[in-house]
Amino acid sequence: MQRKPRLTRRDWKWIALRATGLTAIGVVASLGGAELALATFSEGLSPPGKITAAVLPIFLGGPITFYLSLQNAQLQAAYRRLEAAAARDSLTSCLNHGAFVAQANEFLHGAEAGEARGALLVVDADYFKSVNDRFGHHIGDAALRQIAARIQGAVREGDLVGRLGGEEFGVLLPGASHTLAETIAESIRRAVQTIEFEIEGSRFSLSVSVGGAVFEQKVEYGQLFRFADKRLYKVKNSGRNNVDLMSFEPAPESGPVLLKAG
């Protein structure tokens, strides 16, 4: 049997306000209609008639409007759950690629000029193909879940973590300075290094390489990702298991974007 969606306090507040509002409208309509009808054909609505006209909508319409409001709120809650599930990677529970890019773009495009700052990290597991080849994909999946958990444990509330594909993750750090972004990137790297597996007497550990781009101006996600990805491959080509971030500064309108290595 399928469980009904769990309603939040905000949902219950909305149900109460909606049911009360609709019932109040019913009372006003009942009183107004009865008064108009009786005023036309008789001397108007008597005090007992007014009480009856007010009470009937409350006792009859109140439960109905509450029930309909409850059903509506449950449908909205179910839709939110489906929407949230569709945005998540089923293996790691991180945002999937599409949802991560969409939310990153929402931040980058929505930020005011003076508030457009932060960092994008690209985190890639080192030598991951050898893990799958040596121990099997089920161990590789377990390793990815562990890596995702370490990344999520190292970031702040409000930061975005997404699985970009395979063993690559993206982390958006809204408002982060170069120093803070570097600290978080290093925390991720160190946290992943603590993961150890022992399979049939063989012990192995994991590591990640992290590349990042720190921005203090409006920038497109695609451009930001390319810069971060370049720093990631610099780490990959120089030994792995390291962090390399860069900052880019406002460039002259007619000139190229200037890069400053962190």
Query: Residue 250: its pLDDT value, please?
Result: 46
Question: Pick from 152, 146, 125: which is nearest to 197 by CA?
Answer: 146
* Range 15-44 average pLDDT: 58
Banded model confidence at residue 120, pLDDT cuts 50, 70, 90: very high
Please indicate whether residue 257 or residue 6 has the higher confidence score (pLDDT): 6
Give the per-residue pLDDT at 83.
47
Distance CA 145, CA 153 (A): 12
Which long-range contacts does 90-94 make (Cβ < 8 Å, 24+ apart)? 91/141, 91/144, 91/145, 91/163, 92/144, 92/145, 92/147, 92/148, 92/163, 93/148, 94/148, 94/151, 94/152, 94/161, 94/162, 94/163, 94/169
Task: Report H helices in the chain.
Answer: 9-41, 47-56, 62-86, 97-110, 128-135, 137-154, 178-193, 221-236
pLDDT of residue 85 exceeding 60, the answer is no
Tens of pLDDT, residue by residue over 147-159, are 999 999 999 999 9
Whether the pLDDT of residue 187 is over 50: the answer is yes
Top pLDDT among 126 and 49 is at 126
- Of 168 and 74, the structure prediction assigns the larger pLDDT to 168
Query: Beta-carbon neighbour count of residue 85 at 10 Å?
Result: 9
**pLDDT confidence band for 1 (50 / 70 / 90):** very low
* CA dihedral over 147, 247, 250, 223, signed as positive or negative: negative
Number of CB atoms found within 10 A of residue 158's CB: 10
State which of 15-24, 58-67, 108-117 shows the largest mean pLDDT.
108-117
pLDDT band at 210 (very low <50, low <70, confident <90, very high): very high
Whole-angstrom distance, CA of residue 206 vs CA of residue 75: 43
Q: What tokens appear for 94 in the block?
A: 């991180």
> How many CB atoms lie under 10 A from the CB of residue 257?
12
Percentage with pLDDT > 90 across the chain: 45
Share the mean pLDDT of the chain: 78
Q: How confident is the model at residue 134 (pLDDT cuts 50, 70, 90)?
A: confident
Q: Please give the distance of CA 205 from its chain centroid, rounded to a whole number.
A: 30
Distance of CA 1 to the CA centre of its chain: 29
pLDDT at residue 171 is higher than 50: yes
| Average pLDDT over every residue of 5-25 | 67
Q: Looking at residue 135, what is its pLDDT?
A: 86
Tell me the residue length of the chain.
Answer: 262
Between residues 186 and 48, which one has the greater pLDDT? 186
Helix (H/G/I), strand (E/B), else coil: 200: coil
The domain segmentation of the chain, as residue ranges, is 9-86, 97-261
| Per-residue tokens: 165 | 């594909």
Angle between helices 137-154 and 178-193 (to 10 degrees): 140
Pick the CATH number of 97-261 from 1.10.10.10, 3.30.70.270, 3.40.50.410, 1.10.599.10: 3.30.70.270
Q: Is there a contact between 91 and 190 (Cβ–Cβ < 8 Å)?
A: no
Distances (CA, A) of 145 to 33, 125, 166, 203, 217: 64, 12, 12, 18, 34
Give the model's pLDDT for residue 254: 42
Q: Is the pLDDT of residue 62 over 80?
A: no
Residue 115 annotated as catalytic: no
Q: Of residues 106, 167, 220, 253, which has the active-site annotation?
A: 167
